[in-house]
Each structure stands twice: as structure tokens, then as C-alpha cells.
Copies of this chain bind each other. A is one copy, B any other.
């Protein structure tokens, strides 16, 4: 049945959608909080969902935080206590992917920061490349640095130290036979408070893909892989799972592709105006971006959860 993005009010349909759900997956930034400020009422809503026995999970494309950092942030902002196994960040899931996909003795050349390094370390994936790289003019600049013979994958995540030298090195590894190319996510921009933004990991992935002339395997939403990680950790039924997110092209698309019930919250990136454009479109690809339901804020779930 075609999804129509209905307001999830206090109707009988809303009650039954929430009552029947066994698991609720949340995107974090723009859904539970913005920066360091919790969305008002969000913590209480999640408390009630947990109290009603729903399995809560946190599914985020952000590769610059470890799972432990999410557990601590949830606690700091008053959300129900969470364990690291409930957190599916693209850094952790990328590490998990490489721990299976890399051949024995293989290492990853990583464009990314400390969190990505920590998650790789935690699952035992050998890696190099995080942090600053040599400047042009240096003997070890990426176009001429010696290659590490153990590298069998290039992993692209959020990297404040991304540079042309790193791009050179990534290309040189990717020109070797059988070298995997993995990206944590394709987010174009990370919005900041006040309407500004910084470039997302998607820009860095595109740069590497363009050089390598091939597509990366993507870990984060809308890729199914990150949901498969949830499914391997918790025995959940997609038909009884709700995905809650603020982005149509990542959260809602992943949820729809995986057979989940999808709920858009308007406290983040995407707008009802965009949904309207997709609803009116004849393009099947755009129709996949339409959620089942929307709320202005997940605090709107509170009245329905009160009894």
C-alpha cells in the first residue's frame, strides 16, 4: 500500500501502530537532540516506550563518535539508560563489516578520526591513516609515500584532516588488485545551528569514488547494511519495527527499503514541503522517500503513550 505521510496523532491508527511495535529505531541528531540540547519531551517519550517494553535502538550515520560516546550522551541528556549494543553508529558498523570482509592479515587505510580508529581497534581491524597526513613537499606526501603491503581496503569516514595527499594514497591503494572501497555514509552536509553547514562524509566518498572510478560499499543509511547489523544483534521483526528519523533520503529511505514502518519528525533536516513534492511525483524512486507517518516532534508521541 502506498505510504501517505499521515500525521501520527492520537487516532486509533496511531495507538495501534505504537502498541503493535516491538522495536523502535531512532536516528539521533535532529530527532533526539540538536547539538547538546535534547528535543523537549524526547527523553520522556523514549522513557515511556522503554517502559512499555519496546526494544529501543539508535541508528546513526555519524562516524565521528563511538558507541560509548552515544551511551554517555543519552545518559547526559536524560534518555533511558542504554547499552553500547543498542547503538549502531556507522563507525562501529564499518568496523564490523571490515572485520568480516578483510582477508586474514589485511589492514584498512582509513580516512577518518579517533572514533573510527577506536571502533576498528575494538573489533581487531588493523588500520592506518587516521589523523593529519604529510603536507605537499614532504617526502612522505601521499603521491609518493611507500604503500603498506597489508592494506586490502580503503575506508572513508568523516575526516577533518581530509587532504589531497590522503586522496592520492587512497587512489594508489585502490589501484591494487582486490582492494575494497567502503564509505561510512553519503550525507552531503551536516547542518549546524543557525542555518550554516559543514560538508558531510558523502563529499569525501565522492572524491575517492571519482578517483577510483568505482562505487563504494556504503555502511550507513539508506544502505540496508546498518539495519542488518541491528537484525543480527536483536531478533526483531521488520513488520513490527518503527524507524524514526528527520531525513527522508537516509532514515526514511532505509526504513522503507527494509520493510519498516517509517516516522518522520520535523525537528531536523527534512520538511513536509519536500514530502509533498515526493508524494506528487510520478517517479518511483521519489515515492520511496515518503514515510508512513510524521510528527512535529517525537514529544507528540507522549499523549498516545500516556495510558
With A136-B160, A163-B163, A164-B163 in contact, do A197 and B171 touch (Cβ < 8 Å)? yes
Give the docked Cα–Cα distance between A197 and B173 (Å). 11
> How many A residues face the partner with a CB closer than 8 A?
33
Tell me if A211 is interfacial: C-beta within 8 Å of chain B. Answer: yes
Q: How far is the CB of A183 from chain B (nearest CB, A)?
A: 12
B189 touching A172, Cβ below 8 Å: no
With A196-B175, A197-B171 in contact, do A162 and B161 touch (Cβ < 8 Å)? no
Residues of B within 8 A of A162 (CB): 163-164, 167
- One of B167, B189, B206 near A171 (C-beta < 8 A): B189
Q: How many copies of this kind of chain does the complex include?
A: 2
Q: Mark A186-208, 1 if CB is under 8 A from B, else 0.
A: 00110000001111101110111
A172 touching B196, Cβ below 8 Å: yes
Find residues 133-165 in chain A having any chain B CB closer than 8 Å to their own CB. 135-136, 143, 159-165
Q: How far is the CB of A116 from chain B (nearest CB, A)?
A: 14
Give the docked Cα–Cα distance between A32 and B165 (Å). 28
Tell me if A10 is interfacial: C-beta within 8 Å of chain B. Answer: no
Name which residue of chain B comes closest to A211, CB basis: B199
B164 touching A199, Cβ below 8 Å: yes
A136 touching B164, Cβ below 8 Å: no
Name which residue of chain B comes closest to A135, CB basis: B132
A200 touching B211, Cβ below 8 Å: yes
Residues of B within 8 A of A167 (CB): 162, 199, 203
18 A–B pairs (Cβ distance < 8 Å), ordered by A: A135-B161, A143-B198, A159-B164, A161-B163, A162-B167, A163-B164, A164-B199, A164-B204, A171-B189, A171-B197, A171-B198, A175-B196, A189-B213, A199-B207, A199-B211, A200-B211, A203-B208, A206-B207
